[in-house]
Every structure is written in C-alpha cells, then in structure tokens.
Amino acid sequence: MGETLYDKLWRSHVIRDYGDGTALLYVDRHLLHEVSTPQSFIAMEKKQRALWRPTANLAVPDHVVSTTDRHLPIPDPLARAQTQRLVENVARHDIPFIPLDDRRQGIVHVIGPEQGFTLPGIVLACGDSHTSTHGAFGCLAFGIGASECGIVMATQSIRQRRARAMRVTITGTRGPFINAKDVALALIARIGANGAAGHAVEYAGPVVSAMSMSERLTLCNMSIEAGARVGLIAPDETTFAYLKGRPMAPKGEMFERAVAYWRTLPSDPDAVFDREIVIDVGDVEPHVTWGTSPEDALPIGARVPYVAADAEPARRERHGRALAYMGLSPGQPLEDIPVDVVFIGSCTNSRIEDLRAAAAVATGRRVAAGVKALVVPGSGLVREQAESEGLARTFLEAGFEWRQPGCSMCVGMNGDTLASGQRSASTSNRNFEGRQGVGGRTHLMSPAMAAAAAITGRLTDVRKLMGTAS
C-alpha cells in the first residue's frame, strides 16, 4: 500500500518509535517570536542546556509590536519587556534574528516562507497554533507550547502523537471573487470546528493545484480552525518556483538536488486516507461568519440562522450565547449587518496577493463614513512591494490606514483592538469572544469581502459591488 504525504514526512523524521502511537521526531526548523519563548529560554538555561543547532532557528518580533509608531518605545510594559527579552535571548544564544527595524521583519508565518526558511520535506515547529500555515510547502508543520519550544531548542526533537490522514479534494470551477478563505470557511462550516481533530489534512485536487502559494498558505493556516494541527499540500512546480532564489533556500546544484527529493513527497496514487471529503468549489459562495467560532460561517446571501428545535442542549446554549455576544437576531440578513472597523491583515491574509485583491475593490472608491479601515502588510517586504505597485496609494486615497507589519488586530496584543460592542470585518482566522478586544465582535471573511465591507459600511457581497453577481 502506498504512502500519503503525511506518512512520508513522519517516517523520515522518526528518531524513536515508542510503540504507543507516539514517536520522537527530529525537528529541522524552529521559528520563534516574542510571546511564546521567554519561559522557554528560562527553563532551558535553568537546566544549563545550550541550543542544539542555533542556525536551525529563526526569530522575529511580531505579536505585540506597534503597527504605527515604530520609532517610539512600545507603550505596554509587558509587550516592551517581551520584545526586549527576545532581543537579549537571541543575542546570548547566537540565534538568527530579524529585528524590528529590519525591512524583512513581519509575521512569523509570513517571513518563514518569504525567506526560504520553510522548505518541503522538513519538520517545522513554532510556539503558535497557526504554524499549520507552513504545510502549504509540503512540510510537517505544527504549533507547540512554550515548554516544548525549550525542548526543541535544546534537543532538536519533540515527541508527537501520530495523526490520522484526511484528504480534502477540491474540484470544479471557481466563480468570481471566490478564494481560499471562502473555501476554508465553507469546509469548517461543513465539518465543524473539531471536525478534523486528530487528523493531518491534505488538500488536493485541480483547484488546489491551480492556487498560488499565497492561497495555499491561507488554506493550511485555517486547518487549525477545523481542529487539525497539520495542514498539507504536496509540493509541485508552483512550490519550486516560489522557493528558487529565496535567501535561506538551497542554491545552485543543491537546489536541484532538493527539488529531485521534493518530487518524491506527494502521496502515492494508491495511498489510503482515513477520511475523504470532496468540495465542489462551484458551489462555494463568498462566506462570512456570524457567530463566535469559525464554524459559524455562511454564504453572504444567507440570514443569521435559527437553532434547530431538536438540537442538543449544549448546541442550543452555544448558539444562544453567540447570538447574544454578537448582538444579532435569528433571521437577520447578513448583508444588513453594519461594521465599525475593517482589518485586512494577519498570517492568514496579509500577503501581496491578498492586498492586491483588496485594492482592486478599493480602487476609485471611499471608505464609508464612520468606518475605520486598516491594512497591515504581513512583512516589510510585502509592504515595500505593495508601495512599489501603487497599492498603498490606492488604500490611502480610499481612506484606509496603511500600517507597519505585525499581527495587529488579529490577536489584539499590540493596542490595535476593538472597543466593547464594536463590530469588525476581518481577514484574520479567529472570531472568538474577546479575540480582537474585550466585547469586540468579529466577522471573518476574505480580503475582497473585507474591502467591500469598508466601502459600504456593512457586510456586503463583493460580487454585487463589483458587478459580477449573476
């Protein structure tokens, strides 16, 4: 029987199989940021451990950094201390570091691929749940806890439980303005926020093969919101073209040798998956969330749902709580919901293709009165490219704020937050209670949909705004 991509990645990295479904895996690459690692360094140093391979690590500040006044000290004392501690720790341990004033600085899950630090065939870990993003390159990437970050730094290995394999095959023809974010939200709505728990999800099919690396990264990023720690896409010519010439990727003959190996990674034709799901993208419409979980997603033309009369008590309770928190009523058209703030950014949707999609909607239009709209590029390099292409000018002329790179309002740890009761249209990955600020109400959507919401001041079908609705 053939092997899946996940099988191949797992097998090639097992140091020791414990015989109980877990194994000690070798970790090729480790990404660090300022929030998850302070305790890791303290624990490691208390045990007088040194880093096993300093150059197998790459650090960058991203979660708590300001997206406006970079020349000023970080106002929050905890955030300031976390960032300074990262600077001190990487210097003490000789870890490659992208500082705040470096043009390459950005969100850890954007700069990893951008620098060629993320490669097919490797195991990559990071103290952040959205590390599944990197699986878009055909690598085994997953988030770990702070204590595990210390273990990886000291031993270059980690014990993990083997997952079951799920394949999501995406077929059909995409309609206008349907992108990876819509597909991800449609999938999560279908299987639930825990629907892929215990699985490594491989995305496949002609639609995935036609996606850019940016869209593939979005798809794998959202895997964790379906309950899977791992999202995967087999490497192909699109992957190789993206990586060629990246600063930390192999060069010359070594690159050609690497590509020859990477070509062996896709799942074998006779590989068997524990679960198979097929999505016809022709049936997918632009999606938005209405509740407090990514599974609370519906096509934009739908209405806030009623809970089924025969639903389980726990489901009824969660549904009612979500409606109360979001300030919505069953039967309310999604397109009637006003927004106060629009956020375009995050490790899910802050790459150049995302900004192009949003700018196309903003061109020649103005942000609605009373709406605050901000665009936060995923890295300094994305920011530079957007400026060189004229996208920044488009956003500014339309009334958007053009920010410095960072996690920003996705996690709300840097002062970019909603006030209680404010409602946002957001391209981020989570709409949990308080995620973007205490009492803040978040609706998830694609960059084009978020830009449309900024222009109209409410949740909007971008196809209608752009004249492509059938």
Three-state SS for the chain is CCCCHHHHHHHCCEEEECCCCEEEEECCEEEECCCCCHHHHHHHHHCCCCCCCHHHEEECCCCCCCCCCCCCCCCCHHHHHHHHHHHHHHHHHCCCECCCCCCCCECHHHHHHHCCCCCCCCEEEECCHHHHHHHHHCCEEEECCHHHHHHHHHHCEEEEECCEEEEEEEECCCCCCCCHHHHHHHHHHHHCCCCCCCEEEEEECHHHHCCCHHHHHHHHHHHHHHCCCEEECCCCHHHHHHHCCCCCCCCHHHHHHHHHHHCCCCCCCCCCCCEEEEEEHHHCCCEEECCCCCCCEEECCCECCCCCCCCCHHHHHHHHHHHHHHCCCCCCEHHHCECCEEEECCCCCCCHHHHHHHHHHHCCCCCCCCCEEEECCCEHHHHHHHHHCCHHHHHHHHCCEECCCCCHHHCCCCCCCCCCCCEEEECCCCCCCCCCCCCCEEEECCHHHHHHHHHHCECCCHHHHCCCCC
- Shared domain for 271 and 306, answered yes or no, is no
For residue 122, the enclosing domain spans: 5-275
Shared domain check, 383 and 242: no
Q: Considering the domain boundaries, does residue 288 fall inside one?
A: no
306 and 269 in one domain? no
The verdict on residue 295 lying in a domain is: no
Please check whether residues 327 and 459 belong to one and the same domain: yes
pLDDT, averaged across the chain:
97
Q: Report yes or no on 323 lying in a domain.
A: yes
Find the mean pLDDT for residues 299-308: 95
Tell me if 119 is assigned to some domain.
yes
Q: How many domains is the chain built from?
A: 2
pLDDT band at 191; cut points 50, 70, 90: very high
Same domain, 220 and 326: no
113 and 55 belong to one structural domain: yes
Tell me the average pLDDT across 145-164: 96
Average pLDDT over residues 243-263: 98
Q: Are residues 129 and 230 in the same domain?
A: yes
Does pLDDT of 469 surpass 80?
no
Same domain assignment for residues 67 and 102: yes
In a domain, 282, yes or no: no
Among 19-28, 211-220, 461-470, the minimum mean pLDDT is found in 461-470
Mean pLDDT, range 97-106, rounded to an integer:
97
Flag whether pLDDT at 202 surpasses 70: yes
Q: Can you tell me the mean pLDDT for 395-407?
A: 98
Residue 27 lies in a domain: yes
**404 shares a domain with 263:** no
Using the 3D structure, point to which of 233, 256, 275 is the last residue of a domain.
275
Confidence check: pLDDT of 311 > 90: no
CATH at residue 205: 3.30.499.10
Residue 470, pLDDT > 80, answer no
Judge whether 226 lies within some domain.
Answer: yes
Same domain as 195, residue 136: yes
Same domain, 226 and 180: yes
12 and 134 in a single domain? The answer is yes
pLDDT of 276 higher than 80: yes
The whole-number average pLDDT for the span 360-367 is 98
297 lies in some domain: no
